[in-house]
Amino acid sequence: MNKRKLGRTGLEIAPMVFGGNVFGWTVDEKTSFELLDAFVDAGLNAVDTADIYSAWVPGNHGGESETILGNWFQKKPSNRDKLVLITKVGSAFSPERKGLSAKWIAQAVEDSLKRLKTDHIDLYLSHWPDPDAPYDETLGAYAKLLKAGKIKAVGASNLSAVQLEESLAVAKTKSLPRYDVLQPEYNLYTRKTFDGPLRDLTLAQDIGVITYYSLASGFLSGKYRSEKDLGKSPRGGGIAKYLDARGHRVLAALDQVSADQKATPAEVALAWLIARPGVTAPIASATSRAQLDSLVKATQLKLTTSHLAVLDEASKD
């Protein structure tokens, strides 16, 4: 499978990233192993997780996703070399264990490495902006980790264009590592978060982009058409906001293109992201082999210019 350069990181990834938020949440360890095996067998090579996944599940405390990945690496060590491993720091475990201070980053990376059972993280992301941690403190902490070989590249999630530009300026002025990858929320329904100044900045600065909520929490799969459908999954409660006039317009466009392409709405929605200027790869999760096979198909789907135009028009604000 053709791989894409991830900005200036030196890393190359296939045009689909497996979302590891489901590990320890909607899939157990055994199923996670099966999905990961099938994922790498299909020629895909990047997995995204975070230290906090999946603390929102009753009985979990955070770190469950990383632990499952680590156990998978331990079961078959060669798997580690097949993957670009992405994880994050910054979400709150407690009032003392959160944010992007140098002290917490130094502790959090060791915790992640231990759970992941690896000696390095390929891409380490600042999960959320931290107004209490100056950019030079955070980037300085990453500089130490890069020098030690514990991480290979750094990026950030959820930054605005202004915040990203400020961080780049600090990195340049103080000769610190910069954010070479951005992870924004972006999909056919939610476009303002990336389209415009943020996309322009990433293109100008050769910053890799991997998108999250790529299927709008499953809304773009087409299985949620009305409020009565919201009970179909644990994510249903977060999908009601998409059931407006524009959401239904987007679904209608997906239905049209899906019929023409003999593909599912989810496959079309992901293929649209893969074709977007500036996007390196979308992140998407799977909880079954059928869903994983669908992710693979999305990477092989070539949308026509007219199909892209239909989707672009339907998703305009």
Residue 114 forms part of a structural domain: yes
d(CA 125, CA 112) in angstroms, rounded, equals: 12
Look up residue 258 and give its two tokens.
């899906």
Helix (H) or strand (E) holding 308: helix 305-314
Our measurement of the distance from residue 169's CA atom to the centroid of its chain's CA atoms, rounded to an integer in Å, reads 25
Residue 114 is part of which domain span?
Answer: 4-183
Q: Domain total for the chain? A: 1
Phi, psi angles (nearest 5°) of residue 161: -60, -40
Q: Which of 186, 58, 185 lies closest to 127, judged by CA?
A: 185
Phi, psi angles (nearest 5°) of residue 121: -110, 130
Phi, psi angles (nearest 5°) of residue 248: -70, -35
Residue 193 forms part of a structural domain: no
Look up residue 219 and give its two tokens.
């809304």
Hey, what's the torsion of the CAs at 233, 235, 241, 244, to 10 degrees? -30
d(CA 273, CA 220) in angstroms, rounded, equals: 12
Q: Alpha carbon of 312 to those of 2, 143, 155, 189, 194: distances in Å? A: 25, 40, 28, 10, 14
Provide the CATH number for the domain around residue 65.
3.20.20.100
Residue 93 forms part of a structural domain: yes
Q: Is the pLDDT of residue 200 over 70?
A: yes
Encode pLDDT of 251-295 as tens digits.
Answer: 999 999 999 999 999 999 999 999 999 999 999 999 999 999 999
Residue 155 forms part of a structural domain: yes
Which residue carries 């990047």 as its tokens?
A: 46
Encode pLDDT of 209-234 as tens digits.
Answer: 999 999 999 999 999 998 887 776 66
Encode pLDDT of 18-67 as tens digits.
Answer: 999 999 999 999 999 999 999 999 999 999 999 999 999 999 999 999 99
DSSP E strand boundaries for the chain: 4-5, 12-13, 17-19, 46-48, 84-89, 123-126, 154-157, 181-183, 208-211, 281-284
Is residue 148 packed enough to be buried (19+ CB in 10 Å), middle (13-18) or exposed (0-12)?
exposed
Residue 244 forms part of a structural domain: no
Q: What is the pLDDT of residue 234?
A: 62
Helix (H, G, I), strand (E, B) or coil at 57: coil
Residue 305 forms part of a structural domain: no
Residue 273 forms part of a structural domain: no
Residue 62 forms part of a structural domain: yes
Encode pLDDT of 99-136 as tens digits.
Answer: 999 999 999 999 999 999 999 999 999 999 999 999 99
